[in-house]
Amino acid sequence: MFKKILIANRGEIALRIIRTCKEMGIKTVAVYSTADKDSLHVKFADEAVCIGKPQSSESYLNIPHLMAAAEITNADAIHPGYGFLAENARFAEICGEHGIKFIGPTPEMIRKMGDKMTAKETMIAAGVPVIPGSDGLLESLEQAKSLAKEMGLPVILKATAGGGGKGMRVVWEENELENAYNMAKTEARAAFNNDGIYMEKFVEEPRHIEIQVAGDQYGKVCHLSERDCSIQRRHQKLVEESPSPFMTPELREKMGEAAIKAASAINYESVGTIEFLVDKHRNFYFMEMNTRIQVEHGVTEEVINFDLIKEQIKIAAGIPISGKNYTPQMHAIECRINAEDPYNDFRPSPGKITVLHIPGGHGVRVDSHIYAGYVIPPYYDSMVAKIITIAQTREEAINTMERALSEFVIEGVKTTIPFHQQLMRNEDFRKGNFTTKFTEGFKLV
């Protein structure tokens, strides 16, 4: 087992990883920017190294600074968390070149799933259902036009280097295609320095349901059930839950099987997630694979009673997995609390937390790095806490969430708590009647 892990991240995920390391008897090294010198991850780690200025590019994304911190502290592994360098194949490669274990998949696996067309082709070859679309990247506007005619509108154009919604364009009318094609290519080139785009049939009002998977170094892969992440706004998830209210035992069996096929196709090592779009007929299609631990991993941990960070570290250390698949035994819902003003287009609201009370009690888990007097810096993600409530039924989990939200006091900054309070009372949400379009029609009063 590793003796010392450097955590190349900040905020709640850095704390989350430190907690599991402590329980496993592994020493921890925190890294921090000058803006984060008073952060809890710095205080809770065994050692801490300042790696630069507030801007991510000067600190949490600066590979030479991170490698220097790992070398001077003698860390034998690096955990990247999520975001920042978690899906940077070159970083994983550099860790390997320095004899430091990157706690995640190999650079080849990250690269393969990072290029969305390559990922899709890999899934087609493995027999995983994908959304009907172009055979590879689009080669010309003429090809795009004839393909759109053949498939029928609406279609969607996606950047192969994109993912998570960046650089997508939906085409509803034939006369929009030329402009959408040029815009998608231009945006992709500007954002990713890669203008490869492809076309798919646009699936209207889908659900986003993802399957958590784990694979070890010996080729064994299992699934750990689903999370429903349909409640999103501008491709930012707001609420996640497990089990999905749309799930049936038959669909879980089929999606779990497909997710295992998908991960096995690249001999996946580490924990990861297969994202699917699910249409109203319960047809499901591979969308992307996330080769990292995700923000919403705690939802799965609570419904199957399983520490995913511990599993991820064990896999990286070469310990085999059991290989058994999991079914949710409880219902868990997560609300992401962001320092944003939900009454003002979710505008970021950084600053000092003057008064704080964190909810607790039966069936409540709060993962957060904030404390009274903490100053939320403006440089990073605005998520300040995740509340997860756990109960036997979905209705009870929602009721517990309402209760927990009513106890949560954060003064000094605006937060998304009022949004979640209204959502928990919404009739369609309570019935499980929602798709990825839900927040578009949601008016906060």
The site for ligand MV4 (CB under 6 A) is made up of 131, 156, 163-165, 200-203, 206, 208, 232, 235, 277, 287-288, 436
Nearer to ligand MV4 among residue 64 and residue 165 (C-beta): 165
- Adjacent-strand bridge partners of 4: 27
List 166's β-bridge partners, or say none. 163
Of 132 and 373, nearer to ligand MV4 (C-beta) is 132
**In the complex, what is the shortest distance from the CB of residue 403 to ligand MV4, in angstroms, rounded to a whole number?**
28
Given the complex with ligand MV4, which of 102 and 246 has the nearer CB atom? 246
Residue 420 CA to residue 424 CA, distance in Å, equals 6
What is the Cα–Cα distance from 387 to 414, expressed in whole angstroms?
17
User: 158: which strand partners?
Assistant: 198
Per residue in 37-49, is it b (16+ CB within 10 Å) or e — as a string? Answer: eebbbbebbebbb
Nearer to ligand MV4, 151 or 444 (CB): 151
**DSSP H or E segment with residue 289:** strand 284-290
Q: Compute the least distance from the CB of residue 289 to ligand MV4, in Å.
A: 11
Shortest CB 283 distance to ligand MV4, Å: 12
Q: In terms of CB distance, is 53 or 201 closer to ligand MV4?
A: 201
- Smallest gap from Cβ 200 to ligand MV4, in A, equals 4
Active-site residue numbers? 292
Residue 437 identity (one-letter amino acid)? K
> In terms of DSSP H, where are the helices of 266-416?
297-304, 308-316, 394-407
Closer Cβ to ligand MV4, 56 or 436, answer by number: 436
Q: What is the DSSP letter of 46?
A: S
**Residue 410, strand partner residues:** 356
Radius of gyration of the chain (CA): 22
Instruction: Please give the order of strands across the beta sheet that includes 169-171.
Output: 169-171, 155-159, 197-201
Q: Which residue type, as a one-letter code, is found at position 276?
A: F
Q: What is the rounded CA–CA span in Å between residue 266 and residue 96? A: 19
Q: How far apart are CA 61 and CA 197, in angstroms?
A: 27
Shortest Å, Cβ 53 to ligand MV4: 32
- Of 284 and 374, CB closest to ligand MV4: 284
Ramachandran region of residue 235, left (φ > 0), alpha (ψ -120 to 50) or beta? left
Report which of 217, 198, 202 is spatially closest to residue 171, judged by C-alpha positions: 202
- Residue 77 CA to residue 2 CA, distance in Å, equals 7
Q: Indicate the SS3 state at residue 356.
A: strand
Closest by Cα among 420, 411, 418, 413 to 378: 413
Element of type H or E holding 354: none
